[in-house]
Amino acid sequence: MRKIRPDLINNKQLLIFCLVVMLGANALAQPSWTVDPGSYSNNMTITGAINLNHEESRDADDIIAAFIDGKCRGIAQPVLQGTVDRYIVYLMVYSNDVSGTIQFKVYDASTVTEVDIDVTMEYTVNGIVGYTEGPYIWSSPTISNKAEILTFSVPGQVDTTVIDEKSISLMMPYGSDITGLVAAFISSPDAAIKVNDVIQTSGISVNDFSSPVNYQVQSADETTEKTFTVSVIYANAIPSDIYLTSNEVAESEGYGTVIGLLSTEDANPDDSHLYSLVSGTGDTDNDSFLISGNELSVNTEIDYETKAGYSIRVQTDDYNGGQFEKQIAITVIDEQEIILNAVNVFSPNNDGINDYWMLENNQTFKSCNFYIFNNIGEIIYESTGYNNDWDGTYKGRQLPVSTYFYIIKCPNCSSCNYSGSISIIR
């Protein structure tokens, strides 16, 4: 028979002893928390979950205990609830009093340690705190009960974001695409943020802001929920240029003569504009002109020999804080150089070609009186100024093919009267 060495027997015994000691130590490490429900007449229920070191417990061996005045008043362990895929604790707290401060301790089975929960709770007879889908959270270290969005921004925004109690507003450049913006935000520590039940990740999640977007924020301890409505609006489109329909004035023009009409280059077609003469580069002759509405008119005697050109500075204001200024030069036309450049044949047959009697420099004669006669001296057209719009009709009827005659009379300019003939062909 083979003999067994005594030293081997001793080693085996030592191994068995160590295992027994370890198992015993583990058993002894579990707290001796007990409670006798029959000794109490009142109770309250807390439905919750355990969170240790920012990780929610999924260990059925963990224990939560409630204490009032240092005495254990309730014990429970997590139970897996498949509907929410969480380990939920259903803790009954007992008392003979109607009030009191509840303190909590957790036994962490994975580290075989007891953990004090810093946050306390007031006892309420028949009170109910938490529910399976929204449990109360026992945490160590204490996790935030705040549900705030602290900062919020999107690429390319104009100015800073305004965050109020439950609303967030920001501006984007006028006309920019806001249907797929990626927001960067900072929330309360470990808060969960959703839009339409979809988890939001700062700098990654995309949303359509063509209408307000609701951000649902839940605190890390799940005790607080708050909704922030985020609105993205367009910033004002700043005017970018000023136009004048004519920047020439004949020296024969007098006070009040309208030189031309002002208009504004503006990305927002709905804006209205206020025009004014302002100080700045090029404002040398502002006093010689007036602006009424969008009309620029003369406010001095125009004499080519005295002054051949003027410079003014005009501002346009869109009533929304957008302004633009521009220097505009006004040229004086010497009355001795005013030449009538008019066609003498046109064909008003609505083919889009040569359908109107045209004056190439018609704006030069905007204060002059125009008369057109037939061959028996009857006036068939007259106007002050001419907009290249006579289509060969009289009283709404087309005139026959023939030769007609015109006279142009310009006030205050004896050398600026003209006459000639016009032939209508079809």
Domain that holds residue 288: 241-336
pLDDT computed for residue 236 by the predictor: 94
Handedness of CA 275, 278, 280, 282 (dihedral sign): positive
Q: Other C-beta atoms within 10 Å of 84: how many?
A: 13
CA 76/CA 61 separation, integer angstroms: 10
Interacting residues of 197 by C-beta distance below 8 A, sequence separation 6+: none
Residues 158 and 132 in one domain: no
Residues 296 and 362 in one domain: no
Residues 178 and 261 in one domain: no
What are the structure tokens assigned to 48, written together? Answer: 């919750």
pLDDT computed for residue 373 by the predictor: 95
What are the structure tokens assigned to 372, written together? Answer: 């057109």
Phi/psi region, residue 389 (left: phi>0; alpha: psi -120 to 50; beta: rest), is alpha
426 residues of the chain, pLDDT tens digit each:
344 444 544 554 444 444 444 444 444 468 999 999 999 999 999 999 999 998 999 999 999 999 999 999 999 999 999 999 999 999 999 999 999 999 999 999 999 999 999 999 999 999 999 999 999 999 999 999 999 999 999 999 999 999 999 999 999 999 999 999 999 999 999 999 999 999 999 999 999 999 999 999 999 998 899 999 999 999 999 999 999 988 888 776 678 888 889 999 999 988 999 999 999 999 999 999 999 999 999 999 888 888 999 999 999 999 999 999 999 999 988 766 677 889 999 999 999 999 999 998 887 788 789 999 998 889 999 999 899 999 999 999 999 999 999 999 887 666 678 889 999 998
Of the candidates 104, 228, 102, which has an alpha carbon nearest to the alpha carbon of residue 168? Answer: 228
Tell me which H or E stretch contains 13: helix 6-29
Residues 361 and 303 in one domain: no
Q: Strand pairing of 225-234 and 213-218?
A: antiparallel
Phi, psi torsion values for 8, nearest 5 degrees: -70, -40
Residues 369 and 406 in one domain: yes
CA 288/CA 329 separation, integer angstroms: 12
Residues 41 and 126 in one domain: yes
Say if 225 falls within a structural domain. Answer: yes
pLDDT computed for residue 360 by the predictor: 85
- Residue where a domain stops, chosen among 234, 250, 271: 234
Residues 60 and 101 in one domain: yes
Say if 10 falls within a structural domain. Answer: no
Residues 156 and 200 in one domain: yes
pLDDT digits (tens, 9 = 90+) for 124-178: 999 999 999 999 999 999 999 999 999 999 999 999 999 999 999 999 999 999 9
Q: Other C-beta atoms within 10 Å of 121: how many?
A: 19
Contact in structure between 327 and 312 (CB atoms under 8 Å): yes
Residue 33: Cβ-neighbour burial (10 angstroms; 0-12, 13-18, 19+): middle
pLDDT computed for residue 224 by the predictor: 92
- Domain at 343, CATH number: 2.60.40
Residues 331 and 401 in one domain: no
CA distances from 405 to 31, 242, 356, 374, 419 (A): 119, 39, 15, 6, 7
Q: Strand pairing of 309-317 and 274-277?
A: antiparallel
CA 384/CA 404 separation, integer angstroms: 19
Residue 69: Cβ-neighbour burial (10 angstroms; 0-12, 13-18, 19+): exposed
- Domain at 189, CATH number: 2.60.40.2340
pLDDT computed for residue 259 by the predictor: 87
Say if 18 falls within a structural domain. Answer: no
Say if 416 falls within a structural domain. Answer: yes
CA 326/CA 290 separation, integer angstroms: 16
Say if 50 falls within a structural domain. Answer: yes
pLDDT computed for residue 3 by the predictor: 43
Using the structure block, give the residue that is written with the tokens 């020296």: 251
Which residue type does 123 have? Y
Residues 201 and 260 in one domain: no
CA 62/CA 140 separation, integer angstroms: 14
Which residue type does 139 have? S
- Residue where a domain stops, chosen among 200, 215, 234: 234
CA 9/CA 54 separation, integer angstroms: 48
Residues 48 and 134 in one domain: yes
Q: Strand pairing of 345-346 and 295-298?
A: unpaired
- Residue where a domain stops, chosen among 213, 234, 255: 234
Number of domains in the chain: 4
Residues 402 and 314 in one domain: no
pTM > 0.85: yes or no: no
Phi, psi torsion values for 310, nearest 5 degrees: -130, 160
